[in-house]
Amino acid sequence: MTIKHLRVDYDKVNPTGSFSPGDVLSGRITVVTSKETRVQCLLVEAEGKAEVTRPGEDGHPPTTRRDRKRYFYFENIILQDKKGDGSEIIGRGKNVYSFTFEIPNRDMPSSYEGKWGKITYSLHTKLTRSIWLVHKSKTEFPFLTKSEFPFVSKSKRIIIGLKEPQYTTRILFLGSGKVTVNVSSEKMGLKQGEAMEVRAEVLNHSRCAVTPKFHLSEKQTFVSGSRRVVHTNDVAFGAETSVVPEGSVQTVARTLSVPPLLPPTFFNCSMMGLQYELKVGHGTLV
């Protein structure tokens, strides 16, 4: 083949390799050819978009229909045969072409991939030799919004996103009686890898011993057309050893660490959202 290699790369602006609104994105296109090659056009595109696959109804598989929202799109034409006389030629061997884009300085959601949708930021390059000979290459780059903690409703027990202590009560009815769990926390706004102390006051008025269990509930929300779909996933913080005997009151304190690779809460995308809730349940010991 005449075009042996086509690739698009970008330069990192920080150790993590992520970009944010207002950053300058620079990179290069590398084209390797076996001989001199006439081209109609060589271009590179930068794009940020959200995409949701419409879930199937009543347990059916998802449809092929997708809803999209574009946050930005730029195009940089490197080579173009405007006259159509074949004057644009790529030399034999390795050829490198540089480009630069400036990412818009406005609120956009971070890169994310969930159950029914994803938010991606990518570079595309396309080399057109004729209407039948088109070569393409793509690479995605991580994007991190500057909105550290978007606004969330205070009625939700968010552990990443709400910077204030919170107190809640949960009443559980068992066949042998009632169990009341009062949960309090020192803070609710956390970053990945951080820890917080959670206290659970368990009023066990049942005839069974109970063991408090702490869970982190991930709530993904997707909007496609007129449909709103919610996908939840509970992650346990590990086995519990504290046992509250029957007919007693006991306070259980636990320091919970947020997994370091957990995606942060976001609410600045109209097609999808992500939030977390801290849940305290129990297991019974007969």
- pLDDT at 59 > cutoff 60: no
Q: What is the DSSP string of 45-94?
A: EEEEEEEEE-PPSTTPPPPS-EEEEEEEEEEEEEEE-SSSSS--EEPSEE
Q: In whole angstroms, give the CA distance from residue 149 to residue 189.
A: 8
- pLDDT at 282 > cutoff 70: no
Q: Which residues contact 200 (CB under 8 A, 6 or more apart)?
A: 181, 182, 183, 212, 214, 251, 252, 253, 254, 280
- pLDDT at 172 > cutoff 80: no
- pLDDT at 205 > cutoff 70: yes
Q: Which residue has the tokens 């509930």?
A: 217
From 3.40.190.10, 2.60.40.640, 2.60.40.1180, 3.40.640.10, which CATH number describes the 3-140 domain? 2.60.40.640
Q: What is the pLDDT of residues 3-57, one digit of tens each?
A: 999 999 999 999 888 999 999 999 999 999 999 999 999 999 999 999 998 766 6
The two domains 3-140 and 166-285 share their CATH topology (first three levels equal): yes
Q: Domain ranges in the chain?
A: 3-140, 166-285
Q: What is the pLDDT of residue 148?
A: 54
Q: What is the pLDDT of residue 161?
A: 62
Whole-Å CA distances, 151 to 166, 188, 189: 16, 13, 11
The chain-wide mean pLDDT, for the chain, equals 84
17: alpha, beta or left? (left if phi > 0; alpha if psi -120 to 50): left
- CATH code of the domain made up of 166-285: 2.60.40.640
**Whether the Cβ atoms of residue 179 and residue 204 lie closer than 8 Å to each other:** yes
Residue 226: what residue type? S
